C-alpha cells in the first residue's frame, strides 16, 4: 500500500496506524527546499512539518527497514535549474526524489525533460472519485475539479471491470466525450519513451541506503511505479 501526501498533517500516531496497516511506501509532495517558496507554492505548507514527518519515518525504519520515503517535486519556477541542489538536499533525508514536469491549464505540460518524436497511447487506469465517477487517468482526475464529468461511468452503476471496458471504448472513439478531451490532452507524455534517463514527464533519482550508507550513484525509477503510488494511494496531497 502507498500514501501520497503533502506531509502537513501526519503526526506519529497516524503514521504508526498506517504502518500497522502495512503501508510501506510514502511519497511527499514538496516543490522547493526553501521554506518561503514551499509556503507560496503549497498555499501555506510548512517545509519543517514534512521534514519532521520524514525524520519520524527514518526513526521507524530502524525497526521496519522496508519503509521507502520519496519526494515528488514539480518543476515550478527555478526548480529545474536547481535540480542538482534539490537532489543533494534530499539525499541524506529520503530514498528518492521524483522530478515532475509542471502541468497547466489542466491538460498541458511545461518544463518537460524532452519532447517525444510522436504521440503514444495512454494507459487506462480506473480511479474512483469521491463522487463515484470512475476516471480513466490522472488527467481526468484533475479535470474533475473544474468540469462536470457525470458522463463518466459511476461506481454506483457499474463494476470497476465494466467501467474499464467502457472507458477503453470511449478512449478509442474520438467523437466520445472522453475522446474529445483526449484530443487536447498532453498527459500521454507520462507513458512516453525514456531518453537520457527520463521520460518527458519525470526523472527519478534514487539514493542507495543499504547498510546505512548513502551511495552517490542515482538509480532511475520508472513512471509506472510513480503512477501506481500516486493514483492508487491511500491519501493524496494534490
41 with 85, same domain: the answer is yes
Identify the pLDDT of residue 42. Answer: 83
161 with 140, same domain: the answer is yes
168 with 219, same domain: the answer is no
Identify the pLDDT of residue 145. Answer: 84
109 with 226, same domain: the answer is yes
160 with 104, same domain: the answer is no
43 with 156, same domain: the answer is no
Q: Is the pLDDT of residue 2 over 90?
A: no
111 with 6, same domain: the answer is yes
- Residues across the chain: 238
Instruction: Report if residue 121 sits inside a domain.
Output: no
76 with 183, same domain: the answer is no
150 with 50, same domain: the answer is no
pLDDT digits 0-9 by tens, 172-229: 999 999 999 999 999 999 889 899 999 999 999 999 754 343 333 333 333 334 333 3
DSSP states of 216-238: S--B---HHHHHHHHHSSS----
18 with 100, same domain: the answer is yes
Helix axes 47-60, 12-21, angle to 10 degrees: 50
Q: How far is residue 193's CA from residue 214's CA, in Å, rounded to a whole number?
A: 29
Instruction: Report if residue 122 sits inside a domain.
Output: no
**Mean per-residue pLDDT for 4-19?**
93
Pairing of strands 2-5, 25-29: parallel
Instruction: Report if residue 120 sits inside a domain.
Output: no
Question: Could you give the dihedral angle defined by the CA atoms of residues 140, 142, 145 and 148, in that order, rounded to the nearest 10 degrees?
Answer: -20
29 with 107, same domain: the answer is yes
Instruction: Report if residue 107 sits inside a domain.
Output: yes
104 with 198, same domain: the answer is yes
Instruction: Report if residue 146 sits inside a domain.
Output: yes
Based on the structure, what is the number of domains in the chain? 2
Identify the pLDDT of residue 62. Answer: 95
**Mean per-residue pLDDT for 56-75?**
96
**Residue 107 belongs to domain spanning:** 2-115+193-231
Amino acid at each position: 500500500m502507498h500514501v501520497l501526501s503533502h506531509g502537513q498533517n501526519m503526526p506519529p500516531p497516524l503514521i504508526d496506524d498506517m504502518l500497522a496497516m502495512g503501508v510501506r511506501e510514502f511519497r511527499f509532495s514538496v516543490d522547493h527546499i526553501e521554506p518561503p517558496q514551499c509556503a507560496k507554492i503549497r498555499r501555506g505548507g510548512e517545509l519543517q512539518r514534512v521534514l519532521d514527518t520524514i525524520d519520524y519515518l527514518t526513526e521507524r525504519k530502524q525497526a521496519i527497514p522496508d519503509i521507502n520515503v520519496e519526494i515528488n517535486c514539480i518543476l515550478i519556477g527555478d526548480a529545474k535549474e536547481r535540480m542538482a541542489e534539490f537532489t543533494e538536499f534530499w539525499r541524506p533525508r529520503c530514498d528518492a526524489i521524483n522530478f515532475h514536469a509542471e502541468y497547466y491549464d489542466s491538460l498541458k505540460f511545461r518544463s518537460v525533460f524532452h519532447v517525444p518524436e510522436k504521440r503514444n497511447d495512454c494507459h487506462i487506469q480506473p480511479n474512483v472519485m469521491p463522487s463515484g465517477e470512475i476516471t480513466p487517468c490522472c488527467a481526468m482526475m484533475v479535470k474533475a475539479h473544474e468540469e462536470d464529468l457525470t458522463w463518466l461511468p459511476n461506481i454506483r452503476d457499474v463494476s470497476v471491470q465494466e467501467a474499464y471496458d467502457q472507458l477503453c471504448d470511449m478512449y478509442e472513439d474520438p467523437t466520445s466525450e472522453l475522446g474529445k478531451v483526449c484530443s487536447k490532452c498532453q498527459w500521454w507524455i507520462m507513458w512516453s519513451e525514456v531518453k537520457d534517463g527520463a521520460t518527458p514527464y519525470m526523472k527519478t533519482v534514487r539514493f542507495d541506503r543499504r547498510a546505512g550508507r548513502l551511495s552517490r550513484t542515482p538509480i532511475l525509477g520508472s513512471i509506472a511505479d510513480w503512477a501506481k503510488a500516486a493514483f492508487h494511494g491511500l491519501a493524496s496531497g494534490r
